[in-house]
């Protein structure tokens, strides 16, 4: 598909069965939180999380998707199967991101 304008991304996420967030297995990546994580959670897209560390913890805590060990294709297939079995409505990313990462709430906390 190549690069797409930002406004064309939400409709693609909406019709997707799941989204993959994946980074190679590297200790350096355990400290990053991919920016698309919160957008996907806000749209309640089931996430296949192939990143270790804090990003993985967020997905687990939010019940926003399935996790896999980076560079493990067997775990990727298992995650896809679990999402297919559970269905999109099983995942709770939108509720979590609304509660924990609301910009107005975070801004208010910073001002305090």
Measured N-to-C along each axis, helices 93-100 and 54-62 cross at an angle, to the nearest 10 degrees, of: 110
Domain residue ranges of the chain, discontinuous segments joined by +: 6-111
**pLDDT tier, 100 (very low <50, low <70, confident <90, very high otherwise):** confident
Which candidate, 38, 59, 54, places its Cα nearest to that of 106?
Answer: 38
In this predicted structure, what is the pLDDT of residue 44? 95
Q: What is the pLDDT of residues 17-74, one digit of tens each?
A: 999 999 999 888 889 999 899 999 999 999 999 999 999 999 999 999 999 999 999 9
């Amino acid at each position: 598909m190549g690069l797409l304008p930002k406004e064309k991304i939400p409709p693609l996420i909406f019709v997707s069965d799941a989204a993959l967030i994946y980074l190679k297995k590297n200790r350096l990546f355990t400290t990053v939180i991919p920016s698309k994580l919160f957008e996907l959670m806000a749209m309640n897209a089931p996430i296949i999380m192939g990143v270790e560390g804090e990003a993985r913890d967020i997905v687990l805590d939010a019940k926003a998707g399935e996790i896999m060990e980076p560079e493990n294709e067997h775990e990727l297939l298992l995650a896809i199967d679990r999402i297919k079995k559970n269905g999109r409505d099983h995942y709770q990313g939108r509720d979590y991101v609304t509660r924990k990462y609301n910009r107005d709430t975070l801004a208010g906390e910073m001002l305090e």
